Amino acid sequence: MYYFSKREKILIAIIGILLVVSIVSLNSANSSTDENELVITNVNDVNDVNDKIDVEEDLDLPMDIMVHISGQVYQPGIYKLVTGDRVIDAVNLAGGLTKDADIDRINLAKKIVDEEKIYIPKVGENLDSGNVEGDMANVDINGASENSNSNKININTCTKEELMSLPGIGDVLSDRIIEYRKTTKFNTIEDIKNVSGIGEAKFNDIKELIITN
């Protein structure tokens, strides 16, 4: 029988230890590679989810809308709101309801849409069309009574303050309108375009809010 010397036994032990260390190191390297690939995959998945969330958030962003509110509010006119806003938001922008507003026929919780006309009726007002939307919020959309003319501004007789309540009519333009009518009567609402500074676009903003008699 062959007997290993003490030196040979030590060499064999060292070789065995090195072999074990090499095997363990190789397994650890493979495991790390898999984990790194998993991390990269997970990061990509997270990025995909974030991209989808960003797109969805963009789709949900509120859009600007324009509405025209008239009747029993302090500052009738055309106002910019956002999708999802309600009649009460338009009323607040228009200075709130007057003491004569018929709140029993107004649905303040109704959502508004772009280009909507909101008419706030007066207590006791007789609407010939009888077309009351919901609990009443925008009768003029379906044709309001001629009585609504009483809420419009007569550009031949109104005060400067009333003119300035119109959208886009400020201090300078209101003075020009008053100067113009001192010499020339407004026979039709279109005549207001003869005033310097009032073009087609501005006229379209105020034409539903003014009368001449």
- SS3 for 58-84 is HHCCCCEEEEEEEECECCCEEEEEECC
Please give the backbone phi and psi of residue 193, each rounded to the nearest 5 degrees, phi first. Answer: -70, -10
Q: What residues does 111 pair with on adjacent strands?
A: 86
Tokens coding 196: 């310097």
Amino acid at 125: E
pLDDT tens for 80-115 read 999 889 999 999 999 999 999 998 888 998 988 888
**Closest-CA residue to 94 (of 114, 123, 119, 113):** 119
| Fold of the 62-144 domain | Ubiquitin-like (UB roll) (3.10.20)
CATH of the domain spanning 152-213:
1.10.150.320
SS3 for 3?
Answer: coil
Q: How far apart are CA 176 and CA 20, in angstroms?
A: 99
pLDDT over 90, % of the chain: 40
What are the residue ranges spanned by the domains of the chain?
1-60, 62-144, 152-213
Tokens coding 210: 């003014």
Tally the C-alpha atoms within 13 A of residue 177's C-alpha that lie toward its C-beta: 30
Per-residue pLDDT 10s for the chain (213 aa) are 556 677 777 877 888 788 877 787 776 666 655 555 554 455 555 566 556 555 555 545 678 899 999 999 999 999 999 988 999 999 999 999 999 999 888 899 898 888 888 999 988 887 654 444 433 454 443 444 444 566 789 999 999 988 988 988 999 999 999 999 999 999 999 999 999 999 999 999 999 999 998
